Structure formats: C-alpha cells, structure tokens
Homo-oligomer: A and B are copies of this chain.
Amino acid sequence: MSAVEKQAVSQSEGGSRRLILDTAARLLRSGGYHQTTLREIAEAVGIRKASLYYHFASKEEIVEAVVNDGVRFVHEAVVAALAATESAAPRKRLEAAIGAHLTALHGNSDYTSASIKVFTFGENPAPESVRGVRRVYEDVWRGLIAELQAAGTLSARRSPDALRLFLLGALNGSIDWYRPGRFDVAALAAEFTALIAHGEQGDAALFDADASSASR
C-alpha cells in the first residue's frame, strides 16, 4: 500500500477528524477565532471546505472541540505532574504544576495555546461545555492552592481566588511573550514558583541554575 493510499485509508477511517482538529488548533493558536477561516483549515488539510461539514456541523463545533481538548490536555498534564510529585515537598509540587502548565502551553501541542487564545479573546460567551471543562481544570488549582496554603508554602492570609486568578493569569499571559530560547520552561517555572512561594532560603541551589538562564 502506497503512502497516498495509506493516507486515503486513514482519512476514510476517521483519522481525518483528528487531522482537521490538529490543523485547526495550529491555525487558531496563531490567528484566533475570526482570523482562522474554514477555507484555510480545509486547504491545509488537503480537502475542500465543504467537506469539513461531513465531519463537523459548523465552525463553532470545530473550535469548541479544539478548545476543550486544549483544556483537557493541560489538565491531564498538571494532574500527572502532581501525581508524580505526590510525596515531594509542597513547593516542588507547585513548581511541577506550574512547569506542566507552561509545557502544555509552549510544548509541541497547539491545543492549549489555541484554547487560551480563543477563550481569552472570547467575544461570544463561551459555550457551556467549554466553561464546564475549564472549571474542572480550575478545580485542580483550587485544591492545590488550598493544600499549599495549609502547608504554609503559600500565605494563608491571601485570598485563594486572588492567588489562583493571579497565577493562572500570569501563566497564560506567557503566550504573548514566551519564545523558546529566551527562557526555558523549567527555569521559568522555578522563577515563578519562587515569586509566589514562601521559604525563599530553600531555593539557593535552584537560583544558581535559574537566574542565569532566565535572564539571558
């Protein structure tokens, strides 16, 4: 079976849905909702625009699928990072969660950054499914922040809501300035953790590695 035949088969077998979403995610990441057209998506995929309607009912449905997948992606990454540091120091868990969030945003997948881009510049009220998926992810941070405030890693005197909104805002804001090479994600996660976490004296070792690369 030739590569062309294989592609034809894989498309007819349903892989084309994923291919459409991958492409849409990439275009939405850089162009946002209105700048991204169905024609662009179709052309990049290699089909006709009308054929998109064989897989999806509307542009909104495509965008919604990308946005939800993007939130689920970062959600799973952060949950995994917390599971992997289950018995580590609270501060390490925070750093791991921040690192996972930043990696989801700036790694190889376009879904999460597309999600932020589209949602942030959300002209229309986000569909209910999007708000639900997002809230579930935010709950992970609510839980983590409560844990860290109880442990004293984050000040118990601060509003948990303000903490979460401030931190997630700062992390998501990195899509506007983050460029690989200027910062690397691990160094950035360590910097951001140190910015809001107590017990700075504990990060002397981190600092040597951090600051030199993060202020490069």
Interface residues of A (CB under 8 A from B): 30-35, 117, 119-123, 155, 157-163, 165-174, 176-177, 183, 188, 191-192, 194-196, 200, 207, 210-211, 214-215
| Known contacts A34-B35, A162-B191; A155/B200 CB under 8 A | yes
Contact B177 A170 (CB under 8 A): no
Instruction: Report whether over half of chain A's contact residues are helix, strand or loop; otherwise say mixed.
Output: helix
Residues of B within 8 A of A195 (CB): 155, 158, 162-163, 166, 196
Q: Are B159 and A123 in contact (CB under 8 A)?
A: no
Partner of A166, one of B155, B192, B207, B211: B192
Report yes or no: A167 in contact with B169, Cβ–Cβ below 8 A: no
The smallest C-beta distance from A153 to any residue of chain B, in angstroms, reads 13
CA distance A215 to B183 in the complex (A): 34
Min CB gap A59→B, angstroms: 13
**Chain B residues positioned under 8 Å from A165 (CB to CB):** 170, 173-174, 177
B155 touches A194 (CB 8 A): yes
* In the complex, chain B residues whose CB is within 8 Å of the CB of A171: 169
Min Cβ gap A193→B in Å is 11
What's the least CB distance linking A154 to chain B, in Å?
9
